[in-house]
Amino acid sequence: MCRKDEFPGEPFQEECWRYLLETAGIESEVTSDLIVQFAHHVEGLGRTRVTDEVVQKSEMLIRHIFNRPELEKQDVLGRICGIKFIVPYIVEKWKTDVFNQPNAILICYKNSISHEYSDICWTTCSVLPHAAHPQKLTWKSTKIQNKMIEQLHICKEPSLDSVIQHAQNICDSLKLMADKSQIHDANVIKIKDVMVQVYACLLKYKDSNVMKYKKTLLYTPIIFHPKLKILVTCNRVVKSLQTNEIKPYLMEVPEEYGEYFKLLRC
């Protein structure tokens, strides 16, 4: 975390000189101020692109922070939470082919999301890699992990607005891809799995946000039909039909989405 010229010169770098140097007042511990200073240094290095040096220094800083004893009782987490020194979690290429992640080279802890939620918000949220999230500290109690998450201002789950916007982003893009026959067979199951996660999240909030759903999702082609590789709006599907389907204008909800019909009939 320091430049070479900030360390004692020869022969004072040897361990036998440590007591004398500490007695003379040299700093021997990594302070909160030094951590904040180094975080800003990494942020500056990564303003234009992420080099190997940036990755190495970012990972080193995160490891040091997480290994500090009684970290949750210090002020360092609150001081660094808004500094962009973290290399974000990168989703699979097929997902960015559908819709890119936010154009952020480095991200900060504040308002970021665990990578576990990436499928329902990768286009709208800063996504933390596992190695940078307090949940990886399995030797610490859940109470301490939660306190660290609170101090870092990490979101425990994405907001409803961010999930709705994400749904609009990927569905509008997938609709264009479907219209051009650009949805590959190899990605059909992957897309379906992502959509199921989006539906499950949205369904949790539907009853308390009916008007928001009607305004935003009614005209979004949110229903992905795996067999036909098309996307349609909610008003084009019903739970069951007594007559033949009129594709793509009137169809039954794919059976895979049966438990989400309450959402899809918005």
Round to whole Å and give the CA distance between 3 and 255.
Answer: 61
Q: How confident is residue 57, by pLDDT bands cut at 50, 70 and 90?
A: very high
Mean of the pLDDT values across residues 15-22?
Answer: 49
pLDDT at 5: 47
Bridge partners (DSSP) of residue 114 are 128
**Selected residue with higher pLDDT from 256 and 177:** 177
Inform me whether the pLDDT recorded for 75 exceeds 50: yes
pLDDT at 103: 73
Which residues are CB-neighbours of 60 under 8 A, at least 6 positions away? none
Q: How confident is residue 2, by pLDDT bands cut at 50, 70 and 90?
A: very low
Q: How confident is residue 72, by pLDDT bands cut at 50, 70 and 90?
A: confident
Mean of the pLDDT values across residues 34-58?
Answer: 94
Tokens of 184: 């590959």
Q: Determine which of 41-50, 69-78, 214-223 has the lowest per-residue pLDDT on average.
A: 214-223
Inform me whether the pLDDT recorded for 113 exceeds 80: yes
Which of 145, 147, 107, 146 is CA-nearest to residue 127?
107
Q: How confident is residue 115, by pLDDT bands cut at 50, 70 and 90?
A: very high
Rounded to whole angstroms, what are the CA distances from 70 to 76, 145, 208, 237?
A: 11, 11, 40, 55
Which of 153-167, 205-219, 236-250 is modeled with the greatest confidence? 153-167
Which of 68, 46, 76, 42 is CA-nearest to residue 57?
42
User: What mean pLDDT, rounded, does the chain reach?
Assistant: 85
Inform me whether the pLDDT recorded for 132 exceeds 70: yes
Q: How confident is residue 218, by pLDDT bands cut at 50, 70 and 90?
A: confident
